[in-house]
């Protein structure tokens, strides 16, 4: 038995017992930043990493706020007090989505346009583009010491630069992790936002850069796809003076996630090493040959 999965199964069983949900037949859908389980009754459970209870509570609150403003998003169960905390891990329960696919760049742009046009509520936290990066670098057991030191120094440099970034578009509600896996389209044509844990108030460019680098940094989408994205949203973030900074921060996030993942999932080690090497300038200029998903 995978001991990590075994621990999640025990956590899930305890959380289900607290809220009166039957965990029998639970199926692990994904082990990533969160552990995702599909339960009977079209329920999905998300188990966060230790210490993320406040983030999980915010995600539930954001989902309910979006529903109030007619923005399609994942829906938390209404009849239980969420999140449930088991030994420092937050567990939340959601309605399972109907069959769906990843959104196209243009569909992502349309969803972001609707989100960014909302008036920010005073209760929303300010965006932290560096959240958990230091912890991921520390937890990445497969990193060699020289790479770990470089990543820490790179993180510190980017933090300093972010404080004096160029003026851009007005701050608004941002998704925080707006890639095509987190913006999906159901069979009836509804575009739905997923993974709301980084939703906050911040520069809209942070959401836009996620799609921009899929073209400029990795070649995962075509020039035409990217133009469809900018035309639908109404702005091209690559023309902004702060683009390179936000690009570098987003690439660091992707590299640090890969490094964290490699410590838990050996097949990801080669990709993690590649990403760090690219950031260090060892594989030439962009676009780099990163694998889209781990």
> Where along the chain do its domains lie?
3-96, 102-279
User: Quick check: bond before 83 cis, omega within 30?
Assistant: yes
pLDDT of residue 2: 56
pLDDT of residue 80: 92
55-76 as b/e: b if 16+ CB within 10 A: bbebbbbbbebbeeeebbbbbb
In the chain, the N- to C-terminal Cα span, in Å, equals 21
pLDDT of residue 293: 73
What does the CA dihedral 53, 56, 62, 68 come to, rounded to 10 degrees? -100
Strands lying side by side in the sheet with 27-31: 27-31, 35-39, 43-47, 89-95, 84-86
Per-residue pLDDT tens listing for the chain (294 residues):
456 788 999 999 999 999 999 999 999 998 878 999 999 999 999 999 898 999 999 999 999 999 999 999 999 999 899 999 998 999 999 999 999 999 999 999 999 999 999 999 888 999 999 999 999 999 999 999 999 999 999 999 999 999 999 999 999 999 999 988 899 999 999 999 999 999 999 999 999 999 999 999 999 999 999 999 999 999 999 999 999 999 999 999 999 999 999 988 899 999 999 999 999 999 999 999 999 975
228-266 as b/e: b if 16+ CB within 10 A: bbbebbebebbebebbebbbbbbbbbbbbbbbbbbbebe
Identify the helix (H) or strand (E) that includes residue 245: helix 243-264
Q: Do domains 3-96 and 102-279 have the same CATH topology?
A: no
Which CATH number is associated with domain 3-96? 3.30.200.20
Structure tokens at 150: 């470089």
Distances (CA, A) of 266 to 135, 198, 250, 258, 274: 19, 27, 23, 11, 14
Which CATH number is associated with domain 102-279? 3.90.1200.10
pLDDT of residue 1: 41
Strands lying side by side in the sheet with 191-193: 100-102, 183-186, 191-193
């Amino acid at each position: 038995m995978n001991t990590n999965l075994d621990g999640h199964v025990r956590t899930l069983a305890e959380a289900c017992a607290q809220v009166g949900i039957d965990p029998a037949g639970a199926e692990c859908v994904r082990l990533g930043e969160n552990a995702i389980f599909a339960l009977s009754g079209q329920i999905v459970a998300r188990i966060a990493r230790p210490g993320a209870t406040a983030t999980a509570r915010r995600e539930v609150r954001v989902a309910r706020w979006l529903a109030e403003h007619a923005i399609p998003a994942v829906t938390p169960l209404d009849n239980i007090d969420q999140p449930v905390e088991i030994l420092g891990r937050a567990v939340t329960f959601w309605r399972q989505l109907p069959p769906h696919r990843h959104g196209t760049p243009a569909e992502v742009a349309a969803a972001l346009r609707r989100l960014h046009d909302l008036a920010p509520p005073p209760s929303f936290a300010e965006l932290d583009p560096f959240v958990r990066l230091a912890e991921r670098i520390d937890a990445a057991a497969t990193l060699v010491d020289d790479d770990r030191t470089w990543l820490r120094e790179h993180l510190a440099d980017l933090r300093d630069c972010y404080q004096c970034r160029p003026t851009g578009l007005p701050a608004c509600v941002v998704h925080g992790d707006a890639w095509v896996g987190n913006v999906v389209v159901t069979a009836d044509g509804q575009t739905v936002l997923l993974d709301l844990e980084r939703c906050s108030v911040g520069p809209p460019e942070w959401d836009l850069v996620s799609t921009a680098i899929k073209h400029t940094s990795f070649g995962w989408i075509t020039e035409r796809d990217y133009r469809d994205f900018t035309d639908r949203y109404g702005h091209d973030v690559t023309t902004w003076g702060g683009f390179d900074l936000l690009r570098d921060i987003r690439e660091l996030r992707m590299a640090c996630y890969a490094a964290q993942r490699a410590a838990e999932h050996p097949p990801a080690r080669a990709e993690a090493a590649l990403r760090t090497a690219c950031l260090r300038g060892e594989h030439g200029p962009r676009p780099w040959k990163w694998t889209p998903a781990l």
